[in-house]
Amino acid sequence: MQAHSTLAQHIRDKLGTLSQFPLLESDCIRLRGLREEDIDGLYRLFSDPRVMVYWSRGPMQSRAEAEDYARNILDGFGKRDLLNWIAADPKTDAMIGTTTLYEINPAHARAGLGYALMPEYWGKGLAVEAATLALSYGFLELGLHRIEADTEPNNVRSNAVLEKLGFQREGLLRQRFIHPDGIQDSLIFGLLNSEWRAHLSAQGYAFEPD
């Protein structure tokens, strides 16, 4: 692994030179920056009880909360410690969800991964697609060493998505979130840069020679 200080500086430089939100795309999903018209989509997504049942907070009750969420996306990008992409249909560019690298920490070369899709897009493997773009950006572009995720243990879909991506279950944090539906435990998952590269190689991805 690169010397600690140079890796941290490399990550800071990569984030620092970003002039606009990085656009990532595959055949079936696009990760793009926030636009004003996405605020209604954010409200639709995060006010849906089906989406929020395993989230660390309850459903949004007003559009103003979605406006706050949008402001937080822009503030986080400004501070370069949050990349909260809008997940969109590459054909129509319409919002279908979000995908996030949060608490980006150059000093420890790590970040957290989050994602949420509108229910009509569940069951199509799109979370794996979206997360694959974000993980490759985090590991291969930024040079992060570790990316982690936490789920409510009963969130079988999200647990399955993380395991398909090669994440390892690392532990359980008891009674970690106070949710309107009750106190939630957290399953902690972790993925290392070398593991992501091995995962991609296993899928036939060829890396540029260093």
Choices 35-43, 67-75, 122-130, 174-182; region in contact with ligand COA by CB under 6 A = 122-130
Query: CB of residue 138 vs ligand COA: minimum separation in angstroms?
Result: 17
Which of 85, 77, 94, 58 has the alpha carbon at shortest distance from 16?
77
Q: What minimum distance in Å lies between the beta carbon of 149 and ligand COA? A: 6
Edge-to-edge strand ranges of the sheet holding 30-32 = 24-25, 30-32, 83-88, 95-105, 110-117, 146-151, 182-192, 168-179
One character per residue 157-186, x = contact with ligand COA (rule: CB under 6 A): xx-xx-------------------------
Residue 155 makes contact with ligand COA by CB under 6 A: yes
Q: In angstroms, what is the minimal distance from the CB of 152 to ligand COA?
A: 7
Tell whether residue 87 is a contact of ligand COA (CB under 6 A). no
Q: Per rule CB under 6 A, is residue 189 in the interface with ligand COA?
A: no
For residues 194 and 155, the answer to whether their CB atoms sit within 8 Å is no
In one-letter notation, the amino acid at residue 151 is T
Pick the closest to residue 111 from 87, 82, 133 (CA basis).
82
- What is the number of other CB atoms lying within 10 angstroms of the CB of residue 8? 17
Q: Does residue 51 touch ligand COA according to CB under 6 A?
A: yes
Contact positions vs ligand COA (CB under 6 A) = 51, 54-55, 115-117, 122-128, 151, 155-158, 160-161
